[in-house]
Amino acid sequence: MLSNPLALIAEVTHRCPLHCVYCSNPLELAGTPSELSTEEWTNVFQQCGKLGMLHAHFTGGEPLARTDLAELISAARAAGLYTNLITSGIGLNEERLQALVDAGLDHIQISFQDSREQAANWIAGAKAHTHKIELARAIRRQVGEKKIAFTVNLVVHRQNLDHLEEMIGFIEQLHPERVEIAHTQYYGWALANRAALLPTRAQLEKAVAIVAEAEKRLAGRIRIDSVVPDYYAKYPKACMGGWGRRLMLINPAGKVLPCHAAEVLPGLSFENVREKTLGWIWQESSSFRRFRGEDWMPEPCRSCDRRTEDFGGCRCQAFLLAGDATVTDPACSLAPSHGIVESAVREANADAAVAQPAPASSFVQLQNANTELWSYRTNPE
């Protein structure tokens, strides 16, 4: 018996004022004219409520680029969903924050690229760091009065892992309840920039020790969630808690996907909320059924005891790295194609150089100065 989904990931827009080099958005971004309207999102949230879903995660792009964000949050809250805003904070001031809280915002997650201003702006491809600090302080004040929960996200990689200790100290000053230390996932722009982002083994080992020490020191004050990057793990992650098992993602144009990268998979077509109901898509669509359960699994997954824990890993990673979505995730040490990941890791460790932030006052200058190192995420038309 198939359970209903637990949560909706609402990519309300792909527009974003930042250009993070680790962005996992697809290289082909959904254009502004195709975005779902306020009424269409409201209808989606009502359907989610009827399906008994619990959470709506507002993400993008930058959700604050939607001028109707307060209305969207209010509609999700009215449908009984716990609302979480995942944001860079650009586009938010105290007044707008208050309006979002009044609309029913339960939880806010702000991402930081680094603790050092120049490095943070270099990674984001935009001058955003100082504003984020001001905003984090405003949230803390707001949280005190209104009790919305506050998480800081820190995406880590080769270019910032060497000062992880300093970054954790910096975040501590912002007083979140939780810190998510997320190793870069290699999809979209991050995959295109992998050579500049994949850490060395030595960096990773040091980072694991720093996180363990911080967990002890901050116990009872700040919760730290951190996962080892799957290029260095023995087994892959249970991507999205398994294909079509827990989550539905709707992209800005209304396409319903089992995960944020699924559009790269050839031979699958994804339904749109403009044409089908969420309930039908969850139960009946060929895209959600394609990799659900175990029938699709090849060996070694099919006879592996871990298949009910990691579900054979990530289908998109299998396609992106091995060229075949139906094979065991190459991140798994048991996968026949694991050599692909081993060779990327070998290369990352052969050249241990870490780049230095390029000082620049504009995105164009940053782009010009860093063409050799990486590509900045662009914006949709």
Residues within the interface to ligand SF4 (CB under 6 A)? 16, 18-20, 23, 25, 60-62, 88, 235-236, 300-301, 304, 306-307, 310, 312-313, 328-329, 332, 334, 377
285, 7 Cβ separation under 8 angstroms: no
Q: How far is the CB of 125 from ligand SF4 (least distance, A)?
A: 8
Q: How far is the CB of 171 from ligand SF4 (least distance, A)?
A: 17
Q: How far is the CB of 124 from ligand SF4 (least distance, A)?
A: 6
Element (H, E) at 156: strand 149-156
For ligand SF4, the closer of residues 126 and 174 by Cβ is 126
Q: How far is the CB of 50 from ligand SF4 (least distance, A)?
A: 29
Question: Which amino acid is residue 198, in one-letter code?
Answer: L
320, 307 Cβ separation under 8 angstroms: no
Residue 9: CA atoms inside 13 Å, Cβ hemisphere, count?
18
Q: Tokens for 156?
A: 């880590």
CA 18/CA 124 separation, integer angstroms: 6
Q: How far is the CB of 151 from ligand SF4 (least distance, A)?
A: 15
For ligand SF4, the closer of residues 279 and 300 by Cβ is 300
For ligand SF4, the closer of residues 47 and 317 by Cβ is 317
For ligand SF4, the closer of residues 62 and 271 by Cβ is 62
CA 300/CA 284 separation, integer angstroms: 28
Residue 272 gets which letter from DSSP? Answer: B
For ligand SF4, the closer of residues 188 and 254 by Cβ is 188
CA 18/CA 109 separation, integer angstroms: 16
For ligand SF4, the closer of residues 221 and 302 by Cβ is 302
SS3 365: helix
For ligand SF4, the closer of residues 271 and 329 by Cβ is 329
Residue 161 gets which letter from DSSP? Answer: G
Q: How far is the CB of 88 from ligand SF4 (least distance, A)?
A: 4
Q: How far is the CB of 58 from ligand SF4 (least distance, A)?
A: 12
Q: Which of 23, 105, 21 is nearest to 60 (CA)?
A: 23
- Give the residues across from 158 on adjacent strands: none
